[in-house]
Amino acid sequence: MAEELKEEIQEGVHLKTITPEALKDAIDHHDLPCLKEIVLKVPDIDIAEALSELDIKDTIRLFRDIDTAHAATLFDELSQEQKEELIKAMTDKELVSIVNQQSADDMADTVGDMPANLAKRVLQAADKDMRQDINTLLKFKPESAGAIMTTEFIEFREGKTVEEAIKEIREKGKDAETIYTIFVTDKKRKFVGTVGLDKLVLAQPENALKDLLDIDVPSVHVNTDQEEVANLFRRYDLNAMGVVNDDSCLVGIVTVDDAVDVMTQETSEDIEQMNAVSKLEDSYLETHPRLMAKKCVPWLIVLLILGTFSSLVLSTFQEQIGVLPVLAAFIPVLMDTGGNAGGQTIALMIRGLALREFKPRDIGAILWREMRSALLIGLCVTLFSFVWFTIEQYTGIVHNTQADFVNGTEWATIWNGECWSLAFAGEVFKVSAIVSVTLFFSVLVSKVIAIVLPLGVAALKKDPAIISQPLLTTLVDMASLLIYFGIAEVLILQFV
């Protein structure tokens, strides 16, 4: 058996792993010693993933061949689909064993997404406490502290001694989600603080819990948004956190692994929204192409409609383009640069708000800071682009026909001429100036919009990630085009 468990030393990670084929082999042969070794040495989630590539019948057979303790922990790592298939295939007795070893919050998540008949079967298999916990948890608002908490925690009155506490932990601790953090309440069951298990182990047996309390720990209300909960874990380096009801009485706890999952989920949603994708509920590979299309099409259509404004502006200025056709050649780089500059800032705004680095009311300080960097950035971009666009015209990459006209000569003769045609140079510089000065204002305007919009949306208590970079770009495009042709009008009318 040992040779089938590969030691994966990929990128320095030491871990035992099993391939789906090797796993199937062991399952097919009912190789009990081998299967026992697998569940001991290979992490549950990796076994679950290997199982997902096999038939569900193999999963069912595996579950019957391993001990109940491991079956329970492995069950938790299966996908929702695998869990449902397994439950359908299990006998009532097997179901009772599996279900009652799960933690209540994981079971509640599973049951919540199940078809009603399966859910009923699971709840019937659950013992009274578990069933009550599941029903309690299912009542809470989705994506709130109540929805991600568990009701299985250790709670003691503050007057208890260390010795009494440890004794009780030994008796009841097996059923708690975590005993690393002990939650302490007063006589009225109000949450007062926590004691770490490490502190408990290191303390004198006769100490009272209230002498060891950490009281500088946050707790949250059941309706607090899960993103807020995750941020508290991140900020205060928590291992577990208490959840209270309206009377400040402890009703549940959130553990760090669930907080990490929330952080990951919320960040993925932000990234999706920032790029005009409606929130995917699952991972990329789990999302069916038809559903993916549903998540992508809406914003593309909305942005297409908003893009009408740019089309309107360009159509209105068709005459100017007729007079100075080279202006059209710079439209892409003009709009891209404005959008890019704004996109930089908006990413920093949305991320900063998500990590609570600043709040909407800090808009003054942020605008002051951004204006200074935007001016510097605008200046660099303008100076560089002026030179660059001049080079583009001189080398013929972009053909400035107006310059031909004014110069009255063939393009090629510029290089052979003895004196530099001032009139020609003027035409080239005029165009470079129009574009590069527009870029300057484009950068400034886009960065200001990129601050005001998301902070404004956040101030209205909505999700700022809704201001996606594509949305910003579309708005900035319109502003940039208006500025572009505005400046072109001024310079053309003045000098032609």
Q: Which of residues 344-373 bind a second copy (CB under 8 A)?
A: 344, 346-352, 355, 357-358, 362, 365-366, 369-370, 372-373
For a second copy, the binding residues in 149-168 under the rule CB under 8 A are 166
Beta strands at 6-10 and 13-17: parallel, antiparallel or unpaired: antiparallel
Of positions 93, 174, 187, 188, contacts a second copy by CB under 8 A: 174
Nearest residue (CB) to a second copy, 41 versus 157: 41
**Nearest to 234, CA basis, from 354, 386, 330, 326:** 354
CB 458 within 8 A of CB 465: no
Closest approach of Cβ 123 to a second copy, in Å?
A: 26
* Binding residues for a second copy restricted to 308-327, rule: CB under 8 A: 308, 310-312, 314-315, 318, 321-322, 325-326
Shortest distance (Å) from residue 56 CB to a second copy = 21
Of 89 and 344, CB closest to a second copy: 344
Q: Is 297 in the site for a second copy (CB under 8 A)?
A: yes
Instruction: Please give the residues from 111 up to 150 whose contact with a second copy meets the rule CB under 8 A.
Output: 145
Residues 371-400 that bind a second copy (CB under 8 A): 372-373, 376-377, 380-381, 384-385, 388, 392, 397-399
Q: Work out whether 184 is an interface residue with a second copy (CB under 8 A).
A: no
173 contributes a contact to a second copy by CB under 8 A: yes
Q: According to the binding rule CB under 8 A, does residue 341 interact with a second copy? A: yes
Q: What size, in residues, is the chain?
A: 496
Say which amino acid occupies 349: M
Binding track over 249-288 against a second copy, x by CB under 8 A: -------xx--xx-xx--xx--xx-xxxx--x--xxx---
- Please choose, from the candidates 46, 133, 129, 121, the residue with its C-alpha nearest in 3D space to the C-alpha of residue 86: 121
Q: Which of 305, 323, 387, 496 binds a second copy (CB under 8 A)?
A: 305
- Output the CA torsion sign for 460, 369, 442, 343: negative
Residue type, 23: L
Sign of CA dihedral 83, 84, 86, 91: positive
Choose, by CB under 8 A, the member of 65, 106, 156, 180 that binds a second copy: 180
- The only residue of 120, 139, 141, 235 in contact with a second copy, by rule CB under 8 A: 235
Pick 215 or 419: Cβ nearer a second copy = 215
How many residues contact a second copy, by CB under 8 A?
141
What is the CA 224 to chain-centroid distance, rounded?
19
Using alpha carbons, select from 231, 187, 464 the residue that is nearest to residue 348: 464
Q: Are strands 153-157 and 178-185 parallel, antiparallel or unpaired?
A: parallel
Which burial class, exposed, middle or buried, applies to 142 when counting CB atoms under 10 A from its CB (0-12, 13-18, 19+)? exposed
Q: What backbone torsions phi and psi does residue 213 show, to the nearest 5 degrees?
A: -55, 140
